[in-house]
Amino acid sequence: MPLRFLTSGESHGPTLTAILEGMPAGLPLSPDDINPDLARRQGIRRGDPGGRLESRPYIGASPRMKLERDTATLVGGVMAGVTIGAPIALQVQNLDHAKWRGKAVEPMTVPRPGHADLTGAVKYGYSDLRMSLERASARETTARVAVGAVCRKFLAQFGVRVGSYVTEIGGVAAALGEMPLEERIGRALDSEMGCPDEAASLAMHDRVQQIMQDKDTLGGVFEVAALGLPPGLGSHVHWDRRLSGRLAQAMLSIHAMKGVEIGEAFANAKRTGTEVHDEIVLGDRRQTTDDDLAFIAHRSSFIVRKTNRAGGLEGGITTGQPIILRVAMKPISTTLNPLMSVDLATGEPAATEYERSDFCAVPRAGVIGEAMACFVLADALLEKLGGDSLGEMLPRFEALRQMRLEDVPMLNESQVFWP
C-alpha cells in the first residue's frame, strides 16, 4: 500500500507533527488547501461571520476550540508550491502550550472510565495519568485532518469528493429521506450541528444545551460519503486489501468511534437477499443515482445499478457508486457529574475529577472521518494507477474512465477447470 503517515505530538505539547509518505510529485499544495479543514475540525462553519478569529464553535465544544487557531505549516516535501514526491511534513502549533509550559501540575491518579487513562497506565506503567491522556487526546486528530486535506487535494485531481454530515446526536435523529448526498454534504457545511436537516439540527442544539445543564455528555452518529470514485479500487483477493475492511479500520481508529456500518448494513441484516442486493441492469448511465461513475461500459450499453444498499463496495472493491460509511461515536468520557473510579495513589474508591472538555464532539468528528477516508481512498487510487507523478497518473485515470468491459483481456477464454 503506497501511502502511509505518522503523527507525533501531545495535546498540550508545543506542536503536532505529521509525515505523509508516498504522495506523488506534481500536486500543487499550500496551507490554504489544509487550513479550511482544520477550521472545520475546530467547529467553525463555512461563512461564519468575521472568518475564523471571531467565529464561535458550536454548542457543546470545549472552550479550548476558541483558543486554538489551527493552521498548518508545510516544512518538507513541497517546493515552489508543488509536491516533489518526497515525504510531506506538516506542523500545527498548540497555542494552549504557552499556558502549561514550565507549570508544575499535580499528578492525576484517578482514571476516568471510558478514557485511555487506566488502560494506558497499566500498559506503560505511568504513575501520572496525564501521560496517557496527553497522547490519547483527540487533539492528535488535528494532524490527521492535515494529512487528510493533502489526500483530499490529490483525490480532487481525479474528481473524487469526500464529505460528511451528522445524522444523530444523543438519540435525536435527522430525517433525510431521499435527499441527495451532495445536498446533505452542502447543507451540513452551513449547519451549526453539521446536520442537513434544519429541524433536527435545532433539536440537537437543544439536546446538547440540556446535557450541559445536566453536567453530562453525548455521542451520536455521522456519515461519510465519497463520490466520483471509479470502479475497481481495493481487492477481493486478500483480507488486508479489501477496501471495506481498510475503511472500517480507519474509522474505528478515530478516538471514541465504536461502530461503523457500510451502506445499509444493519438494516440489510433484517431484510432478505432479494430485498437487499443492488440488481445489475443494462441501461442508460443517467439512471444511476447520485453519481456519474456508477456505470461500466459494456458492448453498446452500460452496466448500472438502480440502488446502492451495499454502500459502494462489493468484494472489498468499489462498484463506482458512492461509498457511504455510518460511524457511531460514544459519549465523551470526561463528565462534570463524576463517575466512580479508584485512586491509583491510595488504592481507595474515588470520584473522577473534571477538566475542561467537550460535552459533545459529534459535529467536529465528521471532518476527521472524512480525513481518514481521504487517506484510505488516495492510497487505493495510487495502488490502482501506480506512478510517481500526477502527470503519469492522470492519463491512466482517463484510460480507466474510457475502459469498456469487452476490451479487457480475459485471463482464460476457455472454461474454468481445476487441474
- Which part of the chain contacts ligand FMN (CB under 6 A), choosing from 25-33, 194-202, 253-261, 316-324? 253-261
Residue 39 contacts ligand FMN per CB under 6 A: no
Angle between helix 362-385 and 243-252 (nearest 10)? 150
CB of 178 closer than 8 Å to CB of 200: no
Please report how close the Cβ of residue 109 comes to ligand FMN at its closest, in angstroms: 17
Binders of ligand FMN in range 266-285 (CB under 6 A): none
d(CA 298, CA 153): 31
Cell numbers 479543514 correspond to 37
**Residue with Cβ nearer ligand FMN (217 or 321):** 217
Residue 88 contacts ligand FMN per CB under 6 A: no
d(CA 212, CA 242): 41
Residue 115 contacts ligand FMN per CB under 6 A: yes
- Which part of the chain contacts ligand FMN (CB under 6 A), choosing from 80-88, 229-237, 328-336, 397-405? 328-336
- Letters for 119-148 (x = contact with ligand FMN by CB under 6 A, - = none) are -----------------xxx--x-------
d(CA 242, CA 245): 6
Residue 333 contacts ligand FMN per CB under 6 A: yes
Residue 62 contacts ligand FMN per CB under 6 A: yes
d(CA 105, CA 249): 36
Residue 42 contacts ligand FMN per CB under 6 A: no
Residue 116 contacts ligand FMN per CB under 6 A: yes
**Residue with Cβ nearer ligand FMN (294 or 372):** 372
Residue 59 contacts ligand FMN per CB under 6 A: no
**Residue with Cβ nearer ligand FMN (176 or 365):** 365
**Residue with Cβ nearer ligand FMN (195 or 229):** 195
**Residue with Cβ nearer ligand FMN (288 or 334):** 334
Grid coordinates representing 179 are: 435527499
- Which part of the chain contacts ligand FMN (CB under 6 A), choosing from 65-73, 301-309, 325-333, 384-392? 325-333
CB of 262 closer than 8 Å to CB of 243: no
d(CA 264, CA 255): 23
- Phi and psi dihedrals of 164, rounded to 5? -150, 165
Residue 118 contacts ligand FMN per CB under 6 A: no
CB of 132 closer than 8 Å to CB of 117: yes
# residues near ligand FMN by CB under 6 A:
20
- Phi and psi dihedrals of 391, rounded to 5? -60, -35
Please pick, from the candidates 208, 256, 310, 360, the single residue that binds ligand FMN as defined by CB under 6 A. Answer: 256
Q: Tell me the HSE value of 156 on the side-chain side, using a 13 A CA sphere.
A: 11
- Phi and psi dihedrals of 393, rounded to 5? -85, -35
- Alpha-carbon Rg for the chain in angstroms: 23
Query: Which residue, 303, 322, 306, 307, is CA-closest to 262?
Result: 322
**Residue with Cβ nearer ligand FMN (191 or 334):** 334
**3-class state of residue 122 by DSSP:** helix
Grid coordinates representing 212 are: 450541559
**Residue with Cβ nearer ligand FMN (321 or 333):** 333
- Letters for 354-393 (x = contact with ligand FMN by CB under 6 A, - = none) are ---xx--x--xx--x-------------------------
Residue 224 contacts ligand FMN per CB under 6 A: no
Grid coordinates representing 374 are: 481521504
Instruction: Please give the residue ranges that form the binding site for ligand FMN (CB under 6 A).
Output: 62, 115-116, 136-138, 141, 254-256, 330, 332-334, 357-358, 361, 364-365, 368
